[in-house]
Amino acid sequence: MKRLAFLIALTSATLAYAGTDYFYVSQPIGDIDGKTMFNTTYYPADKFNKPVWSVDNSTGSSDGTPANHPGIAFSGWNLGDFTGLPVPTPLQNYQRSKPGASYGGTAVSMHDVMDGGVLSPRFGAMLNAYGIPYTPDTYENGRLIVSHRNIMGANLGYAFSGVDHRPFSRGASSVFNFSMMLQIPSVAVEGSARAHAGPSFTLQDMTDPFNRYIWFAHWAFDYPSGNNGPAPVQSIGEDVATASYIVGSSFNQGTTYSTMVPGSSASTNQPWSGWKWFAFTVSYAQIKKALEDINTAISRIDDCKLPQNFGEKKCTHLSTNPANYKLGMLHLDAEFVRTNANGGGYMGLSNYGWWAYSTY
């Protein structure tokens, strides 16, 4: 925690701005009870405004776990064996797994530690993708009709409710800042699988008639199997399943949609033990550029070139005024993705120290 505070202070000292709007700083969480969901189909009201692990099997398949299952408390093994973050006793107060998970199975943890005289929350997750069913995407006449998004995810999220946090509302000088500590010590992938993880956030267009949002994903870690190439440094993509767009970026120099903060760790394709600090900023100009590029991508969709589809959800342009967007959720996004049935693996990671704020 002392290193984290030093890095934030060092970064702030190099900036000249009029003020700061704080949106989220990590707070003690107690135990894990009521803060987990397995096979999430909707976000219950009691899960807003607190850290929650959402653990999901591939969207197209079911592992038999009921929707929005709270998980099973377990004490037979310590999740820290895989995450690099030992869980304190009694283990059942701080660990949850999907039903039937054995040693090394999919599970998550939460607990507080005393750090520099202050209680600080710590979070761990293990994703085990071996044996997960695979459902092929559905095509008709060579066109994608249904994407089953064979993804397994453990997403630590903080969803805002009852607040209107607009990170770019202060005008052209607005800069959104997001940072966290992360370690990913246990990883293996096979076949078509790839594992990736990093901080992300969502922005909702408050002027949009469809209440759409965009994802802004930063890949701190990307570990492809031998069947996959490296991830792009940045991208604009469509999430077919949620009819939303994803702005992809990374912790590299010279990215268009974000800037890696001095002192931040860079994106990597190798697992590591020990805490690393990952921090990025998104300026008013950068988010405006991203929104413009999303609208360009929308204009290029074949169906959106047909007059009868003008005004449909996927063919309607988003606002390009950054001040019209509010924060929906902050994320640590950890996922396994597969492109065919021949793939599997596992990933263990842990995290703490979230800071989300805007300077102007």
What is the percent of the chain with per-residue pLDDT over 90, rounded to a whole number?
70
C-beta separation of 168 from 322 below 8 A: yes
Q: What is the pLDDT of residues 312-356, one digit of tens each?
A: 888 899 999 999 999 999 999 999 888 788 888 999 999 999 999
What confidence score (pLDDT) does residue 219 get?
A: 95
Classify 226 as helix, strand or coil: coil
Looking at the predicted structure, is the pLDDT value of residue 141 above 90?
no
Q: What is the mean pLDDT of the chain?
A: 90
Average pLDDT over residues 65-90: 95
Residue 257 reports pLDDT greater than 70: yes
The secondary structure element, H or E, covering residue 287 is helix 284-299
| pTM to 2 decimal places | 0.91
* Residue 13: per-residue pLDDT: 45
> What mean pLDDT is predicted for residues 2-28?
70
Q: Which residue has the higher pLDDT, 139 or 70?
A: 70
Q: In terms of pLDDT, which residue wins out, 304 or 266?
A: 266
Confirm if 278 and 179 have CB atoms less than 8 A apart: yes
First to last CA, the chain: 26
Cβ neighbours of 252 (radius 10 Å): 13
Looking at 181-185, 209-213, 334-338, 355-359, which range is the least confident one?
Answer: 334-338
Instruction: Find the farthest-apart pair of alpha carbons in the chain and give their distance in angstroms, rounded.
Output: 63
Cβ pair 163, 184 in contact under 8 A: no
Residues 258-278: tens digit of each pLDDT: 999 999 999 999 999 999 999
Burial of 130 (0-12, 13-18, 19+ CB in 10 A): middle
Sorting pLDDT into bands at 50, 70 and 90, what band is 143? low
Residue 359 — pLDDT band, cuts 50, 70, 90? Answer: very high
Give residue 10's identity as a one-letter amino acid code: L
Residue 45: phi and psi, rounded to 5, are -60, -30
The whole-number average pLDDT for the span 32-36 is 97
H or E element, residue 297: helix 284-299
pLDDT of residue 273: 98
The three-class DSSP label of residue 270 is coil
pLDDT for 74? 97
Beta strands (DSSP E) in the chain are 20-25, 36-38, 51-56, 72-73, 95-97, 107-115, 118-128, 138-140, 143-146, 151-159, 175-191, 194-205, 213-219, 221-224, 235-239, 244-250, 259-260, 272-283, 325-337, 343-359
Task: Return the pLDDT at 7.
Answer: 54
The residue type of 193 is A
**CA dist., res. 23 & res. 357, Å (int):** 5
Q: For residue 64, with 0-12 CB atoms within 10 Å meaning exposed, 13-18 middle and 19 or more buried, which class applies?
A: exposed
